Amino acid sequence: MPNNEQAEAGLLARLLIDPAQIPVISDKLSADDFYRPEFKTAYAQMVKLSQARKTVDAATMGKDGEILQELLTQLTPAHHAPLEEYAAIVRRDSFRRKMIASLEKVISRVEHEEDREKLLTELGSVTAAIMEGAEDGMLLSPAAAMDLYLDELVARESGRRGLRYGIEPLDSLLNPAKPGDMIVVAARPSVGKSALADNIADNWAVQSEHPVLFVSIEMTVPQLMDRAVSRVARIDASRVTRCQLTAEEKERMVKVVHDRQALKIWYLDDPHATTGSIRAAAARIRHTHGGISGIIIDYLQILKDDGKDTEVQRVTRISRNIKALGREFNCPVMALSQLNRSVELREDQSPKLHDLRESGAIEQDADVVVGLRRELGTPDMWVEVLKNRNGKVGKVRLDFDTQYMVFAKPDPVAAAVA
């Protein structure tokens, strides 16, 4: 029967090295997809331990762990295929075995059954069962497509579709962030894109049924919490970081920390994060909380996805993967991005789509692209919507209070510019 022992062994060995990927793989691969019995048992135990949020290693898996540990010593340097590639091979061979078994039943009936209509009916039933198990959930019949659309309309009408950004001028220009949307916020360094993402993450979490995942690559979680305390408690950010607080301010700080324990934001605090590790974290959140409402990535160009490609090709691949995250987890994904230095050399320093650093794929993949421009010496932050697949483009002015890291509606009211 079709099987690839090296692919099965390689997959299990890699999951033992990186168990954070188990929730991702287990969504698409079952223990029955493995050919060797000991591999079936080992994989089932790994999934069980992962679902129970227990450590997955050779020690916790007992005899199965010893088998997998032995596999690690047998793998050669050539065994470096991505997990998805191994999983695809295992799935393919599992499907082929199921198909062979089903067809053998038909062949057995042919040997003993003479009624042509019965044989054709049997063959049709087997073919339908095989197609149903082909895991091609992306192929929708006309009826299924309309059912999906009607569900979407009901969700829109009930107000359950989309997350508002929580900043009035921005919400007046942009539609709520919908499942599957890829939203890019682009700016030069130190303009305020991370601060805007922090504000939006809080607003999304308040509206969300499920947690929001905030991927922080450049800043640590304590640094993010410094900003949150400053923003919510209205304490000067520089004094928070130096811990120069009055007794009353410390009391407000403690309250903010206590309140944020109930705020549905999970943090991936990893300077070496990749789109794969983000996917694993999102899968774990979905598994433990029943869903995920949004993903925010700070920021796109410093994701550490491996590859021997050029930088443009690497960023293109990352952009494609980020877009796929929104589709896979049915949530909006916001990715921060750098703008090219050339924007500073122009007389008109308003951001343009072609200023997106490293790759035109970002411009192509994104549903919404927002560029930020700040006027030095003033609180004025211009938010320019450069692309909006399902809405209008234009710009709005926000007040950016750098003392508290807060964005707000300007006073006097800034009018949206169509």
Beta bridge partners of 294: 212
Per the CB < 8 A criterion, the answer to whether 21 and 83 are in contact is yes
253 vs 111: which has the higher pLDDT: 253
The dihedral formed by the CA atoms of 42, 47, 53 and 55, expressed in degrees to the nearest 10 = 20
> How is the chain split into domains, by residue range?
1-136, 168-408
Written as one letter, the residue type at 194 is S
3-state secondary structure 171-195: HHHCCCECCCCEEEEEECCCCCHHH
Q: DSSP character for 115?
A: -
pLDDT exceeds 60 at position 123: yes
What's the mean pLDDT in 301-308? 75
Residue positions counted in the chain: 418
- 3-class secondary-structure state, position 49: helix
Residue 23 burial (C-beta neighbours within 10 Å; 0-12, 13-18, 19+): buried
What's the mean pLDDT in 147-151? 74
Tokens of 386: 């450069």
Q: Compute the distance between CA of residue 33 and CA of residue 91 in angstroms, rounded to an integer.
A: 6
Query: Tell me: the pLDDT tens digits for 365-394?
Result: 889 999 888 877 777 888 888 888 877 888
Query: Tell me: the pLDDT tens digits for 191-228?
Result: 888 888 988 999 999 888 899 999 988 888 888 888 88
Q: What is the CATH number of domain 168-408?
A: 3.40.50.300
Listing DSSP states for 276-307 in one string gives HHHHHHHHHHHHHHS---EEEEE-GGG-----
Q: Compute the distance between CA of residue 170 and CA of residue 373 in angstroms, rounded to an integer.
A: 14
pLDDT exceeds 70 at position 134: no
Per the CB < 8 A criterion, the answer to whether 351 and 384 are in contact is yes
**The domains spanning 1-136 and 168-408 adopt the same CATH topology:** no
- pLDDT at position 78: 46
The fold of 1-136 is: DNAb Helicase; Chain A (1.10.860)
Neighbours of 122 (CB within 10 A): 16
pLDDT exceeds 80 at position 413: no
User: Which of 73-82, 118-127, 274-283 is the least confident region?
Assistant: 73-82
3-state helix, strand, coil in the chain (%, to 5): 55, 15, 35
Which CA distances in Å does 135 have to 97, 138, 250, 307? 15, 8, 55, 29
List the 406-408 sheet strands across, edge first. 265-269, 212-216, 294-298, 333-338, 182-187, 368-374, 380-388, 394-401, 406-408
Torsions phi, psi for 214 (to 5 deg)? -110, 115
**Strands 368-374 and 182-187, how do they pair?**
parallel
Q: Compute the distance between CA of residue 125 and CA of residue 147 in angstroms, rounded to an integer.
A: 25
- Which percentage of the chain shows pLDDT scores above 90? 7
Written as one letter, the residue type at 43 is Y
Query: Tell me: the pLDDT tens digits for 95-104?
Result: 888 888 878 8
> What does pLDDT average to over the chain?
80
What's the mean pLDDT in 301-321? 79
pLDDT exceeds 70 at position 71: no
Q: Compute the distance between CA of residue 357 and CA of residue 341 in angstroms, rounded to an integer.
A: 9
416 vs 163: which has the higher pLDDT: 163
Neighbours of 139 (CB within 10 A): 8
Q: Supply angle C-alpha 371, 372, 375, rounded to 5.
A: 145
Which CA distances in Å does 124 have to 100, 120, 171? 15, 6, 53
| Token pair 């130096």: residue | 242
Residues 6+ apart with CB under 8 A from 192: 372, 374, 381, 400, 402, 407
pLDDT exceeds 70 at position 136: no
